[in-house]
Amino acid sequence: MAKILVVADIKQGVLKSSTTELLSKAKDLGAEAAVVAVGSGVQSLVAELVKAGSDTQYVADDAGLELFSAGPYAAAVVDAAKQFGADMVWFGFSESSKAVAPRVAAQLDAACATEITDVTLGEPVEVIRPAITNKVLQRVRINTAQLVAVVRAGAFEADEGITGTENVVQLAAPEPDTKAVVKEVVSDTSGDIDLGDADIVVSVGRGARNEAGVELVHELARDLDAAFGSSRAMVDAGFMPHNKQVGQTGRIVAPSLYMAVGISGAIQHLAGMNGSKVIMAVNKDPEAPIFNVADYGIVGDLFEVVPILREEIKKVRS
């Protein structure tokens, strides 16, 4: 029986859904599934980690782990992987995962696959992943006994009926990284729902032009209880923070509804939202590439269209 260690996706003390999704896939493949939780105060998540489907919970809970730091986090995951005898270590998709997974792979001398959409067990194990800015898929053969993988957001489905068993193993606190010291984190305090959690995502692009335009689109997002994202242009221009950038190099999202407002649809942006169930776009330029992927496209000036959208949405939702 294969042994799969899932790294719990914990953000600001909250256990994210990818944990259940990855554990569901592991059990679906007939594997023995454990989870490793790293952070400060994560001990309190044990019951949820069991409910998410894990049969062993490796916990590295230490005040020193409050701020994310790739070195210590990787050390804790490696510790769990060795104790469990993991054949595979899976991470949900996040910036932290992308920073930690290659370290874990190097330390375990395992193969490393990022952004996998599928995995098949066997001799050998194979994974599927996108490449060339989401333009092609690769089928990759894994030649090592162990694999460390970062799973694409939404690639695996959660099994609603999944169950687990409590079997907690405390890990020793890893050494802090004294050479790369996190001094502070400039947090996003907007109170918006996280991009990865939202059923609806509204993203703003260059068409919004300035702060007033960004705020107009932000209002639309708030009306819909949606997450608020951005194209790269608006992040580069300083109107939106880095971690709201949807795209190949930022966040990959797959909500039920994605509204691209004032976004032209560059390849790199499409790579980040192409998996959305329904795409709606608003753009002044009828030739904008976004219209090639949008299910519903409105050709128009967002300054005119967004207020009308908000009105119409209010009517429909009441």
Partner 1 sequence: MKILTTVKKVVDVELNIHVQDGAIVEDGLQYVINAWDESGVETAVQLKENHGAETTLVSIGGGDNTDIIRRCYAMGIEKGMHIDDPALEKADAFIYARVLQKVFEKGDYDLVITGKQAQDTDNGQTGIILAEYLGLPCVSNAVGIEVIDDTHLKVTRSGDTGDEIIELELPAVVTVDVSINEPRLPQMRGLMMAKKKPIEKLDLAALGTSAEEIGCAAPKSEVVEFMATEKRAGGRKFEGEAADITAQVVQLLAEEAKVL
Residues 224-243, interacting with partner 1 (CB under 8 A) = 224, 232, 235-236, 241-243
- Binding mask 236-275 toward partner 1 (x if CB under 8 A, else -) reads x----xxx-x--xx------xx---------xx-----x-
Find the binder of partner 1 among 55, 107, 176, 197 (CB under 8 A). Answer: 107
Q: What are phi and psi of 311, to 5 degrees?
A: -60, -55
Tell the smallest beta-carbon distance from residue 25 to partner 1 (Å): 19
Select 159 or 177, whichever has its Cβ closest to partner 1.
177
Tell the smallest beta-carbon distance from residue 106 to partner 1 (Å): 4
Query: How far apart (Å, rounded) are the C-alpha atoms in residues 65 and 222?
Result: 33
Of residues 171 through 210, those in contact with partner 1 by CB under 8 A are 177-188, 200
Select 162 or 234, whichever has its Cβ closest to partner 1.
234
**Which residues are CB-contacts of 86 (< 8 A; sequence separation ≥ 6)?**
3, 4, 5, 34, 80, 146
Query: How far apart (Å, rounded) are the C-alpha atoms in residues 219 and 212?
Result: 11
Q: How far is CA 142 from the centre of its chain?
A: 23
Find the binder of partner 1 among 47, 131, 168, 172 (CB under 8 A). Answer: 131
Select 83 or 303, whichever has its Cβ closest to partner 1.
303
**Which residues are CB-contacts of 18 (< 8 A; sequence separation ≥ 6)?**
9, 92, 93, 151, 153, 196
Tell the smallest beta-carbon distance from residue 167 to partner 1 (Å): 28
143 binds partner 1 per the rule CB under 8 A: yes
136 binds partner 1 per the rule CB under 8 A: yes
**Which residues are CB-contacts of 311 (< 8 A; sequence separation ≥ 6)?**
none
The b-or-e profile of 8-20 (16+ CB within 10 A means b, else e) is bbbeeeebbebbb
The pairing of strands 118-120 and 126-131 is antiparallel
Of residues 76 through 95, those in contact with partner 1 by CB under 8 A are 94-95
126 binds partner 1 per the rule CB under 8 A: yes
Select 162 or 216, whichever has its Cβ closest to partner 1.
216
Only segment of 27-35, 38-46, 48-56, 138-146 that touches partner 1 (CB under 8 A): 138-146
286 binds partner 1 per the rule CB under 8 A: yes
Cα→Cα distances 196→17, 35, 153, 193, 228, Å = 9, 20, 8, 8, 11
What six digits make up the tokens of 13? 């003390």
Specify which residues 32 forms β-bridges with.
Answer: 3
11 binds partner 1 per the rule CB under 8 A: yes
Is 65 within 8 Å of 39 (Cβ atoms)?
yes
Only segment of 31-39, 130-138, 161-169, 210-218 that touches partner 1 (CB under 8 A): 130-138
Select 46 or 305, whichever has its Cβ closest to partner 1.
305
Of residues 292 through 311, those in contact with partner 1 by CB under 8 A are 292-301, 304-305, 308-309
